[in-house]
Chains A and B, each alone.
Chain A
């Protein structure tokens, strides 16, 4: 299922490009049917010509990392420019087959600007599929939060900030993987059991009914050796070493879009493991900055932007100076999203989509105040707002 508006936008993108266009279909699977909630046009390529397109890997990584668990890239689209024939080439088949092994109901859309075809792999064979054009419902979400201070002991004198950061990251990965089963889910101070269904905690908003993840004190105590980080080989030889305790302030608010409201917390916990550990804690530690002089680790915060009603996560510091490191990356990603929206503006937008776009522009405006390019991106947003009016 895909809204007609997205088809028009994809065709518009194709008509306005001399080269092959490329983009991602964002959505979810329900009852084995892919549902498309949003599209994102790729603007960064490793290769782009009138006969081929290879998206830049970093662009995909940013798009997919920003997605909440439960919603993500479920297909791709591309064009055959200059009114070319609409078909699937051998390369397109190979790519769709590869994507289908990662996500079995992957879709591939090909257009020449006027005609458009939809493909899927069925038992490794390319199949043209029928599509229902309709507005797709956004699944309800459940929010997971954590507010923990993790006490870390650094053994030895920190000399290289990148090295310290990576050592902390590696240790935190091991720590969280080991204690994951012992972390509890709580609501209003009460522990939730694994067999409880998530239905009572579903909402349409990020801040409602959050489930708090707690690391029991005895777990922190039991695994405290895992929180000692040796900064040099000399310090592991039993010598009296310089020890410094730092607290890692881990706070997050992470949504999960649930297609099955009857799912239990036990089932969700495994699905959230990758989101919380890999896509949140570890990724944020990778982006963090260890200040050598003060010996503190500054972790980027999460900012949520509502894109077609889906909460996308951007990592940024609430400090313009620190954000210099993330500046280009965040700008490129937001630019990609804003340009994707530009192709919708000339369409006949229903109030649902007008509201989506307005909400997104407001969120971008707020986030951009943390970056040096706020004035530059404002120009693009103003032109979008004018057209929207």
Chain B
């Protein structure tokens, strides 16, 4: 059976309960293109957001430029959405 990618899953683990958003998406898009929407859906400041694979490794700028299809082939269809949570003065 052929497998068509059309939904990727984003999980946010800040708070007492983890939350997940299924995200139907055109697999030819770059992940970078959908980050503003993900950021909005979870309420994470767009400067703070980062996407990690299920092993916790943050996707690099090059990976964010890859098509979602290629990313799904590399890491799977599930990603963590993490707030960097930086504090302090300007950095």
Across-interface contacts of A273 in B (CB, < 8 A): 20
Q: Which residues of B contact A285 (CB under 8 A)?
A: 76
Complex contact A278–B11 (CB within 8 A): yes
A373 part of interface (Cβ distance < 8 Å): no
A91 near B87 with CB under 8 A, answer: yes
Using an 8 Å CB-CB cutoff, how does the interface string of B75-87 with A read, 1 for contact, 0 for none? 1111010111111
Alpha-carbon distance between A108 and B85 when the two chains are bound, in angstroms: 11
| A282 B15 Cβ-Cβ under 8 A | no
The CB with the most chain A CB atoms within 10 A, among B15, B58, B73, B91, is that of B15
Q: Which of A51-59, A189-197, A316-324, A342-350 contacts B (4 or more CB under 8 A)?
A: A51-59
CB atoms of A173 and B76 under 8 A apart: yes
- B87/A53 in contact, CB under 8 A: yes
Whether the Cβ atoms of B17 and A271 lie closer than 8 Å is: yes
Contact between B14 and A73, CB atoms less than 8 A apart: yes
Distance from A168 Cβ to chain B, minimum over Cβ atoms (Å)? 9
B78:A278 contact, CB within 8 angstroms: yes
Q: Is B62 an interface residue (CB 8 A)?
A: no
How far is B43's CA from A57's CA once the two chains are assembled, in angstroms?
A: 18
**Contact of A274 (CB < 8 Å), options: B18, B45, B47:** B18
Q: Which residues of B contact A103 (CB under 8 A)?
A: 14-16
B interface, by DSSP: helix, strand, loop or mixed? loop
Q: Is there a chain B Cβ closer than 8 Å to A20's Cβ?
A: yes
Given contacts A95-B48, A98-B45, A98-B48, contact A78 B77 (CB under 8 A): no
Q: Number of contacting residues on B, CB 8 A?
A: 49
Q: Check B1 for interface membership: any CB of A closer than 8 A.
A: yes
Within 8 A of A (CB), among B4-56: 5, 7, 9, 11-20, 22, 42-45, 47-48, 50, 52-56
Query: Cβ of A72 < 8 Å from any Cβ of B?
Result: yes
B76 and A47: CB pair below 8 A?
no
Closest to A28 in B: B16
Residue picked from B9, B15, B16, B82, most chain A C-beta under 10 Å: B16
Q: Is B15 within 8 A of A52, CB to CB?
A: no
| Residues of chain B lying within 8 A (CB to CB) of residue A230 | 1-3
- In whole Å, how far is A199's beta carbon from the nearest beta carbon of chain B? 19
Q: Count how many pairs of residues, one from A and one from B, have CB atoms less than 8 Å apart in the complex.
A: 189
Q: Is there an interface contact between B76 and A57, defined as CB atoms closer than 8 Å?
A: no
| Contacting pair B17 A64 (CB below 8 A) | no
Tell me whether A228 is interfacial, beta carbon within 8 Å.
Answer: yes
CB A70 to nearest CB in B, in angstroms, measures 6
On whether A76 and B87 interact (CB within 8 A), knowing A274-B19, A282-B78, A286-B54, the answer reads: yes
* Residue contact B48 to A72, C-beta cutoff 8 Å: no
Q: What is the CB-to-nearest-CB distance from A51 to chain B, in angstroms, rounded to a whole number?
A: 5
Q: Which residues of B are interface residues toward A (Cβ below 8 A)?
A: 1-3, 5, 7, 9, 11-20, 22, 42-45, 47-48, 50, 52-58, 72-78, 80, 82-91
Chain A residues packing against B (C-beta within 8 Å): 20, 22, 27-29, 46-47, 49, 51-55, 57-58, 60-62, 64-65, 67, 69-74, 76, 78, 89, 91-92, 94-95, 97-99, 101-103, 106, 108, 163, 166-167, 169-171, 173-174, 177, 225-226, 228-230, 236, 271, 273-275, 277-279, 282-283, 285-287, 329
